Amino acid sequence: YMPIVQFNLMTGRSVETKRQLMKEVTETVSRVLEVPPEKVRILIHEMQENDFAVAGTTFGEMREGTPQNVLGK
């Protein structure tokens, strides 16, 4: 079998950070599912901060601290 792992992340992380994530996830998936690392597939989908919302408030609005902020208020 070929495990496929997907991440939905906000843009802004460095290439090095994403490489480290993929390396460590590959190692863990390979070990836990007992498959060779060559079979593990990882997809990273990056979103802009206004392409994601919680309760109708975009992440961009949350970062700006608008009254509709649903995180921490």
Catalytic residue IDs: 3
Report CA-CA distances (Å) from 11 to 1, 20, 35, 52, 54.
30, 16, 30, 11, 17
Q: Which residue has the tokens 């863990």?
A: 28
